[in-house]
Amino acid sequence: MSDLDRLMAAAICLADLAADIAADAWRSDIVVDYKPNGSSVTPADLLIEERWRSEIRRQFPSHGILGEEYGPQAGTSAFTWVLDPIDGTRQFGAGLLNYASLIAVCRDGVPVLGIIDTPVPHARYAAAAGQGALFAGRQIRSSMRTDMTGAVISLANPDSFSDETAFGYEALRSTGRVRVHDGGALAYGALARGRVDACINGDDLDAYDICALCPVVQEAGGVITDWRGEPLTLASRGGIVASASPELHAKVLERLQGSL
């Protein structure tokens, strides 16, 4: 079994563990608290990350860990797990469905494995470098669309765009055939299976929001970068953009960079 195969098997077990906790919490009366920065947190966020960290330390004691709730833990190997127990806690706490658990593994800072998982309605995207992207266990591909005119474009919550990036948001909001809003991580999964053609997010992202999306999009044939077209890594922060094809990505970046 290769390193990636072993890591994927472990990541799927982590996703299964989180799915049970998140689904039970979502169906119950969710208690929502707020961090000093104003973002939402629930007991499910904390419990999932605690369980994940315990399992990773048990199975991969030399690996580093970066999680949204408990921060970084240095490792001695090339691998770092990047964890967001519930991405979209604001929606999760409001009883909405566009949330996901994000699990990534970076090798030397580069995302090589990603899982986007939501237990309701049992939607899981998984990808590893060189092995393709799967949704519900089947191979998926992006639409490979190259034109903006007919594109389905997913735009993040308008509040996530700062004064600097709001112009880019407006540049994409006025184009395409269909616009959808605030899809979160699941919008990038939808891009990987050909339902969405371009996604943008604003300045409020951290590595644990970003890394799991990269292998899913890339292994499905799409492109994902920051707004300047730079590759995404463990060190990435801020706005990101993904497109169904290199040709479409160049056109999206042209619109976004005109606003920077």
Cα torsion 196, 202, 203, 205: sign: negative
Q: Please name which of 112, 107, 104 lies closest in space to residue 87, comparing C-alpha atoms.
A: 104
Q: Share the mean pLDDT of the chain.
A: 95
Helix (H, G, I), strand (E, B) or coil at 188: helix
Task: State how far the Cα of 188 lies from the Cα of 116, in Å rounded to an integer.
Answer: 9
Instruction: Work out the pLDDT band at 122, boundaries 50, 70, 90.
Output: confident
What's the whole-model pTM score? 0.96
Based on the fold, state whether residues 110 and 216 are members of the same structural domain: no
Residue 145 lies inside a defined structural domain of this protein: no
Based on the fold, state whether residues 16 and 134 are members of the same structural domain: yes
Pairing of strands 152-155, 198-201: parallel
Residue 90 lies inside a defined structural domain of this protein: yes
Residue 188 lies inside a defined structural domain of this protein: yes
Task: State how far the Cα of 146 lies from the Cα of 243, in Å rounded to an integer.
Answer: 9
Task: State how far the Cα of 40 lies from the Cα of 34, in Å rounded to an integer.
Answer: 5
**Which residue numbers belong to the known binding site for Mg(2+)?**
68, 84, 86-87, 209
Task: State how far the Cα of 183 lies from the Cα of 176, in Å rounded to an integer.
Answer: 16
Based on the fold, state whether residues 81 and 109 are members of the same structural domain: yes
Instruction: Work out the pLDDT band at 164, boundaries 50, 70, 90.
Output: confident
Last residue of a domain, one of 83, 109, 140: 140
**Each residue's pLDDT tens digit, 30-78:** 899 999 888 899 999 999 999 999 999 999 999 999 999 999 999 999 9
Higher pLDDT among residues 260 and 160, named by residue? 160
Based on the fold, state whether residues 108 and 165 are members of the same structural domain: no
Residue 241 lies inside a defined structural domain of this protein: yes
Cα torsion 194, 196, 202, 208: sign: negative
Residue 121 belongs to domain spanning: 3-140
**Each residue's pLDDT tens digit, 168-219:** 899 899 899 999 999 999 999 999 999 999 999 999 999 999 999 999 999 9
**Each residue's pLDDT tens digit, 212-235:** 999 999 999 999 999 999 999 999
Task: State how far the Cα of 145 lies from the Cα of 222, in Å rounded to an integer.
Answer: 10
Instruction: Work out the pLDDT band at 139, boundaries 50, 70, 90.
Output: very high
DSSP category for residue 28:
S
Residue 224 lies inside a defined structural domain of this protein: yes
Based on the fold, state whether residues 103 and 131 are members of the same structural domain: yes
- In percent, the amount of the chain with pLDDT more than 70 equals 99
Pick from 14-28, 48-62, 137-151, 163-177: least confident: 163-177
Residue 80 lies inside a defined structural domain of this protein: yes
Based on the fold, state whether residues 122 and 173 are members of the same structural domain: no
Based on the fold, state whether residues 135 and 229 are members of the same structural domain: no
- CATH code of 38's domain: 3.30.540.10
Domain count, the chain: 2
Residue 69 phi/psi, 5-degree rounding, is: -85, -30
- CATH code of 190's domain: 3.40.190.80
Residue 174 lies inside a defined structural domain of this protein: yes
**Which residue numbers belong to the known binding site?**
68, 84, 86-87, 209
Residue 146 lies inside a defined structural domain of this protein: no
